Chains A and B, each alone.
Chain A
Amino acid sequence: MTDLLAIGTRKGLWLARSEDGRRSWTLDGPHLLSQEVAAVSIDTRRASPRVLAGVQYGHWGPSVTWSDDLGGSWHETDSGAIRFPADTGAALGRVWQLRPDTAARPDVVWAGCEPQSLWRSTDGGCSFTLVRGLWDHPHRPTWEPGAGGGAVHTVLPDPDTGRVTVAMSTGGVYVSDDGATGWRPHNRGISAVFLPEPPEYGQCVHKVAADAGDPRRMYAQNHFGVFRTDDGGASWISIADGLPADFGFPVAASPSTPGTAWVVPLVADVQRVPPDGRLRVHRTRDAGSSWTEVGEGLPDGSWTAVLRDAFCTDDHERTGLYLGTRDGCVYASADEGDTFTTVAEHLPDVLVVRAARLP
């Protein structure tokens, strides 16, 4: 069995493989050299695993490309996989998220994009359709872009129902209970320190992850604040006590162990570096009631940052964690964050990591 780690950077994509149970990694790349790869997914629902990448061809604009032979060849739809309909007057700015749906929906892939928009593919990511219900939402004209741009960056399809949860910076969390037609803001309890009053929407939610035990339990890393909901986003409570900083970009939840999640705190707002320059992961085993610093093997003297999608899990029984930094380092843990080994150094800024087991 092969463990595959896809590493999207500001200047290309690398693929790392482990054949020894995630103890050592071999780096393959660069693929797509000079192209920004801000979104990547490894779709293992297909006969041949598909690496799907959201790329920015430097001067030449954004697109979606895929490889069904692990980087041997790349393809894109002639007319573009993601094209705004003419009546919108909009144009794709950047692909921020590519999210394969469940195995029960084998050809469905979701894309979150800039400008703030959600897209759905039913052909494995070759072509996407704009989700009109969110695009036409009366709130959309008032969603402001964060510093990185205004985008849907998180898409969480419920495995058992037609519910879909998205998050955007800014805008906050929105939920559809009818298969992505109607959308309601779900931000009660999430603070927004840059606004005078807690708003119904407009929060700068950086990332949301769903708990293994119940998809209605979710964790949110916010622009200041870490939160949990137990009711599908209807209400959120702070779970930041015990963390050295409540700012950060990613949050990841175990796909197998309920109550287990990880964040990577950064000192903010201006600095956005690990506390005291010590890059560490903080883990909860009790859904955020308490946190423990872990990460033996992660560096001290690390004045970098981990972006929202540069942190992910795998689906091993003992969850693996993968973390990439803006200074081009990638670390892997096979023991739920207790210890990390170095996968890569001196890459361009790491924007996204995604892991999968291949047969």
Chain B
Amino acid sequence: MQLVLPGSLADLAGGVRELDVEPAGATVAGLLDALAARHPVLERRIRDEAGALRRFVNVYVDGEDVRWQGGPATPLRDGAVVQVLPSVAGG
């Protein structure tokens, strides 16, 4: 699977914005489990220790927001593209 990151997280991925990640299970949560093994700080920026996606972090699977699908349990097809984007918030 391909994980696409915003520029603000690239440093935590070794300076790149795209990572190939083989998920531990074919879900968003499985992908993040695999990410935690390689880049634990990066994974913590995306979800908390209880497994919830952070409130102002949006995750899209093949262009669809997982909040309106299964959240972390959203399934991933072979070759899926998972994109992480910060939402519009703050001030």
Tell me which residues across on chain A come within 8 A of B54, comparing CB atoms.
Answer: 59-61
Tell me which residues across on chain A come within 8 A of B52, comparing CB atoms.
Answer: 91
Structural contact, B45 and A60, CB atoms closer than 8 A: yes
Q: A60-B54, A61-B54 are in contact. Are A92 and B40 (CB under 8 A)?
A: no
Please provide the chain B residues from 28 to 73 with a CB less than 8 Å away from any CB of chain A in the complex.
40-41, 44-46, 48-50, 52, 54, 56-57
Bound-state CA distance A60–B46 (Å) is 6
Q: A83-B49, A84-B49 are in contact. Are A59 and B86 (CB under 8 A)?
A: yes
A59 to chain B, nearest CB (A): 4
Complex interface bits, B1-34 against A, C-beta within 8 A gives 1, otherwise 0: 0000000110000000000000000000000000
Q: Which residue of B lies closest to A82 (CB)?
A: B49
Interface size class of A (residues with CB under 8 A): 10 to 19
Structural contact, B49 and A91, CB atoms closer than 8 A: yes
Bound-state CA distance A322–B75 (Å) is 53
Q: Which 9 A-B pairs have the closest CB atoms?
A: A91-B48, A60-B45, A59-B56, A78-B40, A91-B50, A59-B86, A83-B49, A61-B54, A91-B49
Q: Which residue of A lies closest to B54 (CB)?
A: A61
Tell me which residues across on chain B come within 8 A of A89, comparing CB atoms.
Answer: 50
Residue A143 is within 8 A (CB to CB) of chain B in the complex: no
For the complex with contacts A58-B90, A61-B44, A90-B50, 17 further pairs of A-B residues with Cβ separation under 8 Å are: A58-B86, A59-B54, A59-B57, A59-B87, A59-B89, A60-B8, A60-B9, A61-B45, A61-B48, A79-B44, A80-B40, A80-B49, A83-B49, A84-B50, A86-B50, A92-B48, A92-B49
Query: Mostly helix, strand, loop or mixed at chain A's interface?
Result: loop
Q: Which residue of B lies closest to A63 (CB)?
A: B44
Tell me which residues across on chain A come within 8 A of B87, comparing CB atoms.
Answer: 59
Bound-state CA distance A84–B44 (Å) is 13
Bound-state CA distance A164–B56 (Å) is 36
A61 to chain B, nearest CB (A): 5
Please provide the chain A residues from 39 to 92 with a CB less than 8 Å away from any CB of chain B in the complex.
57-61, 63, 76, 78-80, 83-84, 86, 89-92
Q: Which residue of A lies closest to B91 (CB)?
A: A10
Tell me which residues across on chain A come within 8 A of B48, comparing CB atoms.
Answer: 61, 91-92
